[in-house]
Chain A
Amino acid sequence: MSTEKKLVMGNEAIGLGAVRAGVRMVTGYPGTPSTEILETIAKQNDGSIHVEWSTNEKAAMEVGAGAAYAGARTLVTMKQVGLNVASDPLMSLAYVGVKGGMVIVSADDPGPISSQTEQDTRHFAQFSKLPVFDPSSPEEAYLMIADAFEYSEKYQTPVLFRPTTRICHACVSIELLPKIEVPKPEGFIKDTMRWVIFPRLSYQNHIKIEARNVELSEVFSSYPMNRLRKGSGRKGVVSGGVSYAYTSEVIDGNIPFLKIGTPHPFPERLAKEFLEDLDEVLVLEELDPVIEKELLQIAGKYHLDVKICGKLTHDTKNAGENSVESIRGDLNRFLGIEDDKTEGGEELDRAPALPVRPPVLCAGCPHRASFYAVKKAMRGKKAVFSGDIGCYTLGNAKPLDMVDTCLCMGADVTIAQGLHIIEPDAVNFSFIGDSTFFASGITGVVNAVYNQTDIVLVVLDNSTTAMTGHQPHPGTGVTMMGDVAAKISIENILRGIGLTWIETVDPLDLDKAVDAVKRSAGEKGVRAIIFKSPCIAVSKPGTLYEVKQDACTKCKVCITQLGCPAIAVNDGAVVIEPSLCYGCGLCSQVCPSGAIGEVECNE
């Protein structure tokens, strides 16, 4: 039935919208909150779409560009910090342009909820001079993605598409629309004046881009996703993205209200028309004051006597995400309405202290064993532990406390080098996951070997990209579409780079693991330990363990050393919760009394 409604997540809506728009090539690198877009398309694929997890965002962007040069509709997905990695091809591609529609989704994460930064992709749009679409709901994203392809093809330019976490991960009941028919890709037509970037071409294209953006600003002033609602009074409100949804929830229907769906090129004519009738405007947006600055420019350019209020005037907060409540407060202050504190809800007493539930490594996670082995081996010695992005960032939590630095993908290897050069008497460890190693670790290892810096590289190889939901990567031997690929060996790569001291160890064999770390610390040059043990989410549990109560001295070493969520104290006894235990056996190797053993089969 064509009228059947489905509950879809924002990321699914984006993926389904791209499939509807005839996408032929989809590339990306996993990153919260963008990951499910590509996975949705892989599930929907009738075989006509090439879907791949690329090695990193730069590779994804370039593979996508090639397909778009050949005339295919192309979608590239990543999170906002991924766009930093892909910014080199992005900036040049903006000058060269494309033939097939190319939409680059970069998901922002106000809060941030699971990111290193609160950066704003709309700046990247201004910086690269590319159009950007900013959906305010999953259902709008579903329609907007098809528009994005159309504008991209019409203007022969890649376009950015910027959802935020609350769009990506919200679900809505929507009606799916019939597929849009698109012609088959024409193929690549050789033309060096078009596809080969040279200073002269860049100069000529720069002129064209500036003219195009003036035209797009005019076109976007009539684009239905940019909307002006006239009202009464001399005070108006402007919003975009999910803040528009929050504002719609609380704003009075008579207040002039402008919604921005394309923050760049900014719909100038529409905004000018809005500002002309007003004395004061409040801008409600997340991350940076992008809309606010555009309005200030327009007000200045046309000498409009209107005050623009927002982040720059400290009328709204300049960090963290918005909510219905924060926006209600902003609006009330702007309109001079007193907050109605008694409205709704019961008057609550002071709540008792609530238990905190911080993120922890899973019970049975091999990373716990790896960190513990290094910690034990280096006890009392001067060592610094550089970590990276992934589940293993959680190795920073007590009691492990084994991540001293974390910056960005791949920086564990290189930060360790900088630290060591200034403080050569320390042993510098760098912890990197398998997917991160492929994404951006290899050049850092080459750098260490070339510049002869002593570090111990610890690869935490759990055979998956765990943090983002277990995506395959070049070391897993499987592609996104389930095809079997040759497994790329991390050990062989390291040997190829010139490392001679490499040991592959199972971290769950604690004595061997500790011994390997101790020996590595005594060596010079770049040494590598590959701790190889699969993530519990991609492997079967082993025989479970239990605490033999007659042998347990209640010293709690297992708890205070490992912090495993499966081990707890119940009525004074140390117990292993069978529903959480994965049978890794690390606790049995740590127990000084030999009181932890495999569960004996009854009968």
Chain B
Amino acid sequence: MNKSCLLCGVGGQGVVLASKLIAFAAMEQGKFVRTTETIGMAQRGGSVVSHVRMGGEIHSPLIPMKTADILLAFEPAEAVRCLPYLKEGGTVIVSSKAVKPVTDTLGGSTYEGEDMIQYLKKNVSNLAILDGEELCLQAGSAKVLNVALLGAAAASGALDISSEEMEKAVTSNVKERFLEMNKKALALGKAAYEHADRL
């Protein structure tokens, strides 16, 4: 069966790499994969969205609205921005830590992320909120937020990719010296999903 996963976050958070790992795992299962990214002109700090579509007959590289099986959000506001892609009853996994845009600082407005989390709680039936900052702290690096989220995504079952298959994708693509840390991040993500603040 076809599955699609929308990943969203901010430039520099490792969104694109995470989408490549999901694509790799699906290809290992012998599935056809189509992906694309929508990245604006931003060098850093802009919104980044990755579309991953897996399965049989798929034409468009972009996920049609209201059809994503799972939304993997690296940031609360980006989750809200991309919510129109989610299908009815689809899964949302979101890291609760807000990334403030530079223009907020200039304009004096105060985006904190909590409004977004409340909105998600009201509008998403299948929601898991992860404390991404804490997971990174436990794993030992801010750079493994993407892999921790992958651990949670695999655990959710929404991708049709098992935790073992996800680990294999990470092992095949991550440099040896970062492997232990990434495996730890995967396991932390999985555990966090299982104990997540869910509705």
Binding site for B on A (CB under 8 A): 5, 7, 113-114, 137, 166, 169-173, 242, 245-246, 248-250, 323-325, 328, 343-346, 348-349, 351-352, 354-363, 391, 394, 398-399, 559-560, 563-565, 567-569, 579-580
Q: Which residues of B contact A357 (CB under 8 A)?
A: 10, 42, 45-47, 101, 103
Q: A239 CB to closest chain B CB, in angstroms?
A: 11
A–B complex contacts, Cβ < 8 Å, 19 sampled? A7-B27, A171-B36, A172-B35, A173-B27, A242-B61, A328-B64, A346-B89, A352-B80, A352-B116, A352-B119, A355-B77, A357-B10, A358-B103, A359-B43, A363-B44, A391-B43, A398-B106, A560-B106, A564-B102
Judge whether A345 and B35 touch: CB under 8 Å: no
Report the nearest B residue to A173, measured CB to CB.
B33
Cα–Cα distance between A113 and B39 once the two chains are bound (Å): 9
Judge whether A173 and B32 touch: CB under 8 Å: yes
Q: Which residues of B contact A351 (CB under 8 A)?
A: 80-81, 83, 119
Q: Is B67 interfacial (CB 8 A cutoff)?
A: yes
Binding site for A on B (CB under 8 A): 10, 20, 23-24, 27, 31-37, 40-47, 59-62, 64-67, 77, 80-81, 83-84, 86-89, 100-106, 109, 111, 115-116, 119, 122-125, 142
Q: With contacts A7-B20, A249-B59, A567-B105 known, is A172 near B34, CB below 8 A?
A: yes
Q: With contacts A351-B119, A352-B116, A360-B45 known, is A7 near B60, CB below 8 A?
A: no
Choose among B33, B65, B86, B105 the residue that contacts A346 (Cβ–Cβ < 8 A): B86
> How many pairs of A and B residues are in contact by the CB < 8 Å rule?
146
Judge whether A359 and B41 touch: CB under 8 Å: yes
Q: With contacts A166-B36, A170-B36 known, is A323 near B62, CB below 8 A?
A: yes
Q: With contacts A344-B88, A359-B43, A362-B44 known, is A579 near B142, CB below 8 A?
A: yes
Choose among B27, B32, B44, B105 the residue that contacts A559 (Cβ–Cβ < 8 A): B105
Judge whether B62 and A345 touch: CB under 8 Å: no
Report the nearest B residue to A570, measured CB to CB.
B100
Q: Which residues of B contact A354 (CB under 8 A)?
A: 77, 80-81
Judge whether A245 and B61 touch: CB under 8 Å: yes
Q: Which residues of B contact A114 (CB under 8 A)?
A: 41
Q: Which residues of B contact A352 (CB under 8 A)?
A: 80, 115-116, 119
Cα–Cα distance between A246 and B113 once the two chains are bound (Å): 34
Q: Which residues of A contact B47 (CB under 8 A)?
A: 357
Additional pairs, 9, CB under 8 Å, beyond known A357-B45, A564-B102: A172-B32, A242-B60, A245-B59, A324-B64, A351-B83, A354-B80, A355-B109, A362-B44, A579-B142
Q: Which residues of A contact B42 (CB under 8 A)?
A: 357-360
Report the nearest B residue to A398, measured CB to CB.
B106
- Counting from the closest, the 7 A-B pairs by CB-CB distance are A345-B66, A170-B61, A344-B66, A359-B42, A565-B102, A170-B36, A359-B41
Q: Which residues of B contact A250 (CB under 8 A)?
A: 64
Name the residue in B35, B42, B43, B64 with the highest tally of chain A Cβ atoms < 10 Å from its Cβ. Answer: B43
Q: Which residues of B contact A399 (CB under 8 A)?
A: 106
Judge whether B125 and A248 touch: CB under 8 Å: no
Choose among A7, A173, A345, A358 the residue that contacts B65 (Cβ–Cβ < 8 A): A345
Q: Interface on chain B toward A: helix, strand, loop, or mixed SS? A: mixed
Q: With contacts A173-B27, A324-B64 known, is A355 near B43, CB below 8 A?
A: no
Cα–Cα distance between A583 and B65 once the two chains are bound (Å): 42
Q: Which residues of A contact B103 (CB under 8 A)?
A: 355-358, 360
Judge whether A349 and B122 touch: CB under 8 Å: yes
Report the nearest B residue to A32, measured CB to CB.
B41
Judge whether A169 and B123 touch: CB under 8 Å: no
Judge whether A563 and B106 touch: CB under 8 Å: yes
Report the nearest A residue to B63, measured CB to CB.
A324
Report the nearest A residue to B33, measured CB to CB.
A173
Q: A55 CB to closest chain B CB, in angstroms?
A: 24
Q: A574 CB to closest chain B CB, in angstroms?
A: 9
Judge whether B45 and A565 touch: CB under 8 Å: yes
Q: Which residues of A contact B142 (CB under 8 A)?
A: 579
Choose among A137, A324, A360, A579 the residue that contacts B102 (Cβ–Cβ < 8 A): A360
Judge whether A169 and B36 touch: CB under 8 Å: yes
Report the nearest B residue to A580, measured CB to CB.
B44
Q: Which residues of B contact A567 (CB under 8 A)?
A: 105
Q: Which residues of B contact A173 (CB under 8 A)?
A: 23, 27, 31-34
Q: Which residues of A contact B83 (CB under 8 A)?
A: 348, 351
Judge whether A346 and B88 touch: CB under 8 Å: yes
Choose among B36, B88, B111 the residue that contacts A345 (Cβ–Cβ < 8 A): B88
Q: B99 CB to closest chain A CB, in angstroms?
A: 9
Judge whether B101 and A166 touch: CB under 8 Å: no
Q: Which residues of A contact B102 (CB under 8 A)?
A: 360, 563-565, 568
Q: A184 CB to closest chain B CB, in angstroms?
A: 37
Cα–Cα distance between A245 and B60 once the two chains are bound (Å): 5
Report the nearest B residue to A250, measured CB to CB.
B64
Name the residue in B47, B59, B89, B103 with the highest tally of chain A Cβ atoms < 10 Å from its Cβ. Answer: B59
Judge whether B100 and A343 touch: CB under 8 Å: no
Cα–Cα distance between A355 and B103 once the two chains are bound (Å): 9
Judge whether A359 and B87 touch: CB under 8 Å: no
Q: With contacts A7-B20, A398-B106 known, is A246 near B123, CB below 8 A?
A: no
Q: B46 CB to closest chain A CB, in angstroms?
A: 5
Report the nearest B residue to A466, measured CB to CB.
B43
Q: Which residues of B contact A569 (CB under 8 A)?
A: 105
Name the residue in B42, B89, B142 with the highest tally of chain A Cβ atoms < 10 Å from its Cβ. Answer: B42
Q: B69 CB to closest chain A CB, in angstroms?
A: 11
Cα–Cα distance between A172 and B53 once the two chains are bound (Å): 10
Judge whether B123 and A349 touch: CB under 8 Å: yes
Judge whether B34 and A171 touch: CB under 8 Å: yes
Q: Which residues of A contact B43 (CB under 8 A)?
A: 359-362, 391
Q: B106 CB to closest chain A CB, in angstroms?
A: 6
Choose among A7, A137, A359 the residue that contacts B24 (Cβ–Cβ < 8 A): A7
Cα–Cα distance between A461 and B36 once the two chains are bound (Å): 33
Q: A35 CB to closest chain B CB, in angstroms?
A: 13
Report the nearest A residue to B51, measured CB to CB.
A170
Choose among A166, A559, A565, A580 the residue that contacts B62 (Cβ–Cβ < 8 A): A166
Q: Which residues of A contact B125 (CB under 8 A)?
A: 346
Choose among B37, B65, B100, B104 the residue that contacts A169 (Cβ–Cβ < 8 A): B37
Judge whether A356 and B101 touch: CB under 8 Å: yes
Q: A365 CB to closest chain B CB, in angstroms?
A: 8
Report the nearest A residue to B41, measured CB to CB.
A359
Q: Which residues of A contact B100 (CB under 8 A)?
A: 355, 568
Cα–Cα distance between A157 and B61 once the two chains are bound (Å): 33
Q: Which residues of A contact B122 (CB under 8 A)?
A: 349
